[in-house]
Structure 1
Amino acid sequence: MVMWRWCTVLVHLCLLHDFSDALQSFVREPSDQYVREGQTVVLPCQVSEPVGQVQWTRDEFGLGVIRDLPSYPRYQMIGDDHEGIYSLEVQRATLEDDAVFQCQVGSAAGQQGIRSRDARLTILVPPEPPRVIQGDRVTTAAGLEVRLQCESRGGRPPAEIEWYRGDGAILENGTSTESALMADGKRSVVRSTLVLTAAPAHHDTTVTCRAHNAALTRPQTAAVRLQVTFPPEVSVSADRARAAEFDDVTLHCRATANPGQVRYRWFVNGEPLPGQTDSSTTLRAVGRHLDNASVLCQVTNAAGTGSDATQINVLYAPRFRAEPRDVAADVGQEATLLCDVDANPAPEVSWVRRECDACPEPVGTGRRLTLVASADTVGLYECRTSGEHHPAVDAGHCAVVEEVVVGGIRSLLVIPDAREEDFGLYNCSVTNTYGTDSALVILEKQRELPLLVILTIAIGGIIVITTIILVIIMCQRHRRRAKDVPTETPEVITDWT
């Protein structure tokens, strides 16, 4: 009997010893998680050697120890008692579930209760579609500051807002964002402001506000279309880069404006062209006086006026502003000959000394020729000009004769012994205080007829003339013969009876 009691005591002590060594502890604890609103999430909890009752708390409020958690229809503790699994399943998560959860095991049989680490469950809520507070259309004027505000409500976490141009480029400058919690203390209202200076390039373009947060699979957008009024932006071009003298030049004026109802005016060197109100104009027979002239197109609409100008490049043949004059100098002194030629493009000027028509001697280039007077330098010098787009002009070989006539002056250009280089285009320009006028004269080389053609024409002419002479002679002879034939007098018989 005594032996049995000792054995019982020993067994009981062993049981107490084994139980005291096996303390309840966590094998797996929950951790922070994020879940989209409406989804299901499981917070894990596994306990080794549980002795006390297991329960979950939400924001330090106990949910109950029964696995079904009847007070919370969307909650239940799932798992197996033998494996010590008491994970919390949250179905169809709502913003109410956005809280701090903890798995707890109560104290029992001399063991203290244990608590897991805190696990924050964050419910991701998509925001409402964003909206531009100013509406879907904003009208402004070029140069004015425009403030666009985009609002996104109800997102958790707060929505991030970005601005984009119509071509997809992000707008970063001039943006600012502010955020505030809503009444539930969890969701947010975010407002982003974009400040820009309206420009013509913004007209009829869209600016897009794009909002997104972790609860969205794709961003949400709202767009605003800008209507910008601006004065005309003008560009003028000519139908040719360079025009020959007396050619027509057509200029085109392209204008971009809002509103699009515009009026055109044209100016040449600041002087208006009367009656020119179209988007293009033609300058007839441009003269050398219009070389480098500024042609301006002025366009006006209700928002203002814009203009642009271009210069005309007129090509014209050389003309002597003043004929080269004879120069006399003492022996040993310098003498300067001047060749004052005007042309576009600028001509090449060269000088030759002419001892005879067939033996010109080059002596220099440039508008001025400076010589030291001596027996070797005395003689006849010619100034020659040539260059791109115009023929050569030979001063000294040609002569200008002017005479006063009734109502004006007659100017004659005399070219004795015309040479091959003399043929070409000549310009006669007249200028007085009231303006300038000019005319072109083409000196063409007479074509020489081939000898056979000349002989044919000569022989043909001789034959024609001989034929005419023969016809005349024959006609004369015929008339003379007609006069020499006697006239027959009819016989008159008189009856005397």
Structure 2
Amino acid sequence: MIYNCDLPCSFFLSLLSVLGSSVVFIQQPHDLVVVAGQPVTLPCSITGYHGMVLWVKDGLALGVNRDMSGYPRYDVIGDHSKGEYHLLIQRTELTDDGSFECQAIQAATRSRPARLTVLVPPDDPVIIGAPVVSLRAGDSLNLTCHADNAKPAASIIWIRNGEVLNGAAYTKTLLRDGRRESTVSTLHISASNIESGQQITCRASNKAAPNGKEATVTIDIQPDLGEKKPWLCQSGLFIFLLCFCLLWIIRWAKRGNMITDATGDTYEVLVDHSFFTEPVSCEVTNALGSTNISRNVDVYFGPRLAAEPHSLQVDRGSDAVFSCAWIGNPSLTIVWMKRGHGVVLSNENTLTLKGVRQEDAGKYVCRAVVPRVGVGEKEVTLTVNGPPTISSTQTQQALYGEKGQIKCFIRSTPPPDRIVSSIYPSNYLCIQWSNISEIFKSTFSGQIYLNHLWITGINYVLKYIKLKTVHLNFGNISQYYWFYCILIK
């Protein structure tokens, strides 16, 4: 039976005398296997026949004689005068996979069917995580390799140091074209069977790639510094820090500075507050390079001053702002108070006093409390600039003919530039000084120490003494204040 190939009816009308003659296939197509991309030739030679020859694939006509215009990669070659109608397929593709026949239409005969199998090599295998897979010391290793788009499905083996590793699991997935497959292999290696620097190879092969394609991964074992959480300890205690790695050089550092006396995998140190903010790092170097892991030590320590507060001197009516900062672990509480008072003024790093008055002057305390660990405090002074105050007892006594002393007490912020003391009438005694830290002689051999007026050899009656402070610099304003002291015999 001849295939119905939808050719023009004229192809089948004249059978001539050929039907009675002897038509023999000298060469017939046979089963072939070819790798995609390579050329292939399906032979067909018919003796004693000079009619039309038709190539058919999977029941569909490809073309008559040499006419393969619908298939640019197909060509009919050979000497037609000798009955040669070989089918050449250039750069075979997966779509060429199928059954082929050569038919002598006018002789109503055909060749035996031939199966053309097109093989597809797998894509380059891929190891997840390659080229370097990092592990912590003591962890097991799981590797996954996949080789995709192969026909037939690729076989995968794992190789280490030239030896095949057993125990891998495999899965295959048929792709949507119904021809190609993808293969996934998973390999598990226990921690005791792994060494840093080892190379493990995934080799994928099939009939299209018998020598296989390879991918390689290098195992890098990182040092283990224990838990990821910070180490917890009390300030002033010794701790042991461990850095475990099989290979090779270990270096310890704190805040980036090398610790020269720590070279092994254990570092013993007396911790203080600095370990809370300055991480300890362990660097391990092997043939693949260096790996560095840092950890903080969760040190419990009492308050430590990070920013010291400063005393202030402000004008009356101005604002006074104090600042102090503490660090401590666990979290601390800050309290601002005035010395001698029980009122909390602030729980922040900053204390602000609005429009200060003279009575706001005094000592202020910034106190930090770390629960169950410790307390720290810092004292500052607030000085309020204002008018001076002068005080003296109304009556001061001295023995006639003896050394006498007159006292007046001056309190002033800022200090006065000049203080003048005078005794009325002026022809008895007049003493004056311009710097309260110096001593001056008087006309009556009296001595003045600061705000004390000494009179030697009293042999007259002093009716009264008039004291005054002059030229007080306060807010760029010069002010004068008068006070009186009375001396009675």
TM-score tier after normalising by the smaller chain length: 0.3 to 0.5
Using structure 2 for the length normalisation, give the TM-score.
0.41
Structure number with larger C-alpha Rg? 1
Using structure 1 for the length normalisation, give the TM-score.
0.41
More strand by share: 2
More helix by share: 1
